Amino acid sequence: MEHGRFTYSPIKCRPKLSLPNGARVAVWITPNIEHFHYDKPAISLTQMTASLKPDVLNYAWRDYGVRVGIWRIMEILERQGFVATAALNSEVCLHYPQIIEEGNRLGWEWMAHGQNNSSLLTGLPEVHERALIDGVLKTIETHTGKRSRGWLGPALTETDNTLDLLAEAGIEYVADWCNDEQPYWMKTSNRPIVAIPYTLEIGDIPILLDRGGTGDDFFRAIVDQFDTLYADGEHTARILSIAIHPFLIGHPYRARHLERALAYIKNHEKVWLTTGGEIIDWFKSQPSERPGG
């Protein structure tokens, strides 16, 4: 069975894409700002207590992100001149309003990220998923003053209906499909939607948690990815996504390596430090094949 959302498009056969001001690489950074339920399992530091109720050890580890880690990240990004596209659980608006207030001061974009990160979309009936998406978008708009233009599913989960429902709700781009270095159009039953390059590898969870890497490993991965994309971008535009989580990269001994990487990127001339919405606006102005409905 094929998904039918897009056809195969080798990057070497596409029309050239040109970034603003002659940039080679567009860099967007995505802090995942999430709410976790006290009585449900979620991403964990150790499996030793993950099956317990309550699991105080892992819950407190995650809770560090909104209490401490996000504030350190905000300071680093502001210092280095990056405006984030935050992947935002709508329940964050209800529980941590100070984060929303500071993000608005910094001019952050709010990309919808489901209700919370203790509940996934997989298996949701269409009627329930439509109501969930509508509720998430309304909550974020009410509390941030901005309608989300993009969507990242909790743990990048979808149902077979998700893209159709997102397009129906007015979402312009989705970050769940990590299969390219350029945006591309996807078919839905409503109207086309854009897949924007996100990452499964240049992030703190795969490097620091899944593989047990160090802060220096994280720095090296970002720099290596950037250097290659910067070279490739001489011929056609490339997108670099950096995905971070405050409960991981927000710790002091790791955060300094994030700042090193951002300073390295910023030191290059042909770089566009941008947001998801700006990438979509640029992409829509470029020559590309737009599918029907």
The answer to whether residue 100 sits within a structural domain is yes
For residue 225, being part of any structural domain is answered with yes
The whole-number average pLDDT for the span 177-185 is 97
Residue 134 counted as domain residue: yes
Range of the domain at 64: 18-284
CATH number, residue 44: 3.20.20.370
Domain assignment of residue 11, yes or no: no
pLDDT value of position 1: 62
Distance of CA 63 to the CA centre of its chain: 19
Q: Which two tokens stand for residue 81?
A: 């001149």
Instruction: Answer yes or no: is 259 within a domain.
Output: yes
Strands 184-186, 193-195: parallel, antiparallel or unpaired by DSSP? antiparallel
Residues ≥6 apart with Cβ < 8 Å to 133: 112, 151, 165, 166, 169
Domain count, the chain: 1
Q: Identify whether 30 is part of a domain.
A: yes
Is residue 76 predicted with pLDDT exceeding 70? yes
Q: Can you tell me the distance from the alpha carbon of 128 to that of 236, in angstroms, rounded to the nearest whole number?
A: 41
- Residue 135 placed within a domain: yes
CA nearest 113: which of 130, 98, 97, 92? 92
Decide if 196 is inside a domain: yes
Q: Which pLDDT does position 287 carry in this prediction?
A: 82
Residues 6+ apart with CB under 8 A from 188: 5, 163, 164, 166, 167, 168, 293
* pLDDT tens-digit series, residues 102-153: 999 999 999 999 999 999 999 999 999 999 999 999 999 999 999 999 999 9
